[in-house]
Structure formats: C-alpha cells, structure tokens
Chains A and B, each alone.
Chain A
Amino acid sequence: MHKPGARQAVLTYILIGAILIVFMVPIYLILASSLKPSVDMFSRPPSLFFKPTLQHYIDLFTLRPFVSNIANSLIVTLGSTAFSVSVGSLGAFALSRIRHRRIDDAAFWILSMRMFPPIAVVVPYYIIFKAIGLLDTPLALIIVYSTANIPLTVWLMKGFFDEVPEALEEAAQVDGYGIVEIFWRISLPLAAPGLAVCAVFCFIFSWNEFLFALMLTGSSAQTVTVAVMSFWSSDAVQWGQIMAGSFIILIPGVIFVLTCQKWLVKGLTLGSVK
C-alpha cells in the first residue's frame, strides 16, 4: 500500500475514529456499568464521572456462588483444552505424515465436525447424558467442548506439522528412533508454538460457550456464562452484577487479542486466509 497524503490521512483518522467509538462504546459500558452505583446505572445524561464502587463485584462474590461458577468454568475449560490438544495433535501428526490421496478429505471431514450447529445435537446429548448420569457434571461439558476443540486442533496443528522438515525426522529414523519417539522428541517440540495457539483457541471457545452449558448443566456444574445470564431472570435485573460478571468473563479473550493477535487470523479463518 502506498503512503497516503495529508488530506487522505486526516479523512482516514476521522472515519476510523468514528468507527472506533462505535465499536468500543459497548465494551466501555460493560466496565463502566460494573463500577457504577446502581442509582447511576441509567442516569441521563450517562454519568461519565461517577464515584466508582466495587460493590457489584463484592456482591457477585459474596451473594452468589460465582467462585464455584468460575471453578466449574476452569475445570471444564482446562479439562477440554488438555484433552483436545493431546488427542488432536496426535491426529494432526498422522494427517500431516500419511501420504494418501484421500488424506485431505479426511482432514476436511474432521474439520466439518466442528461446523455443525450445536443445537442439532443438543437433544441427543441431553438424552444420552441423562441416561448415563452425566447431566450437570463438568465431565459432560468437557466431552461436548472437545467435539469442537479436537477438530480445530487437528486442523491447525496439521499446518504446524506440515512445516516441520521431514528431513529431520528421516535423520532421526536413521539414528534408530521409532515413530513415537520421532513424534515426541522431534516433531512435537518443533511444533510447540502451534500447541500454544491451539490451547488458547480451545480455552477461549470453552470459556465463552453458552448453549451447551445452558442445556446440560443445572446448579452444580453451572459455568460463568450461564450464571451471568441467570442474574437476568431473577425478579429485579441486577445490571451491576451482570456487568461485573461480564467483565470478568471477557478478560481472557481481551488478553488473547492483545498478546497474540497474529494467530487470530489463522485460527479464526481456519487457515483460509494466510
């Protein structure tokens, strides 16, 4: 791209400034409202300078079982991430190394498992988990989230393994390494950045998920997203607590964007954009 002239630069900044305001206002509102006393919540004009209070956060953690919601979310999220990354990177290695003309089809088939609408399988999950007594347990969500996380891991890790030079692996084989050793001691360490990227994507997806958590958990395995939504359905809407909870939930995603945005493109477009 060429370097814009002064007039074009001013115009660009004006337009982008307006866009930035539109896209940032809702995020600012979450933070501001979580710190606003309830009386100021909808004050006209919106009070830009209010006396911030941590009351909503205190209420959230003392009046609600939000600590156990966070614990549930973390168990589910970390459990599914660990499981998906382990299973998925094995599968990805195989797909990357097997030479067969149908291997791309297999990779697409695995990826397609991630793209089906969750609502279409939630009924069978509900019935099956009810029958085997897993309804309202973190294990149920770990299993369900892995159905989305494993395909993504396989797909992304395949790209990372493809970039590990096979010559290194061949050399290791000459030295008497078996394929398991080659995977574990050569290829996996070289594809380690990919593991981190996959883990982060699995984490964010599981942490943010709502539909399955809503349908498959009751009070004991309730995750943060379902909990925050439940503050709404009580008699009086607790906007302060909703916003405080929302702010806590959005923290991991924001950290992800700020620290490793270069991987966002690859992960979210499933590699269709370089």
Chain B
Amino acid sequence: MSSIPEELSYTKEHEWIAGLEDGITVTVGITAYAAESLGDVVFVQLPEAGATVEAGDAVGEVESTKSVSDIYAPVSGEVVEVNQVVVDDPSLVNSDPYGDGWLFRVRVQDTPEDLLSAEEYATVTTADS
C-alpha cells in the first residue's frame, strides 16, 4: 500500500499540498497512490512561474506509458516556482513523489474548503481500488 504522509493535505484528484498551515506558499505534488496507478511517468507539463491559477483548474499534465492525466491546482494563487528537476527527470514522480518529485509552488490567495486530511484521502484511495 502506498504511503499517505500525515502532515500533508490532499485533493480528491490525488494532489498533495505541503505547508498549507503557514498560509503563504505551498508545495504541490501528486500522491504515491496516483503515481503507482499511472505507471512509469515519462512526461510532466507544469504551469509557468508567474501564472495565476484557480483552485480546480487543470494547470498541467502527467503522462505515463499508458495514459495521461491532468494536474489540477489545489489552491488559488500565483505559481512562484516550478520543479525543473522533475521536468527533466519525470521518473522522480514515481521514485520520490513527496520529495524530489514535487511539482510546483503556489503563493496562496484562496484555499478551497474541500481539501482532505491524510485520513480522509485514505478513504478516497480505498474507494478507487
């Protein structure tokens, strides 16, 4: 079973959000569960630094051998940094989804109310499988 770190927040679309409680800049990635479901990730397209994103918008995509999935912005705000390392080596999404495989950082303007705790996200992955 893939790991679901306690300290992170999650979306139903399998993004994780780190650093939400400080309310300034958060880091976003996709969960180990999502990475495992996708298979070997071969391409990651991320929003550009400086772009304004709305929570729920498709802002990028992850492509694996067999499929392609949208990446959704989990919060609204300004993209302040993207992880060029993962763009160059998309396999990091599989090997280290919560670490070097992070995707982008957003300076938060608005946080939706339906973000999930680790415990709540665990029920989403159980329902899926």
- Asked if A and B bind, the verdict is no
B interface residues (Cβ-Cβ under 8 A, vs A): none
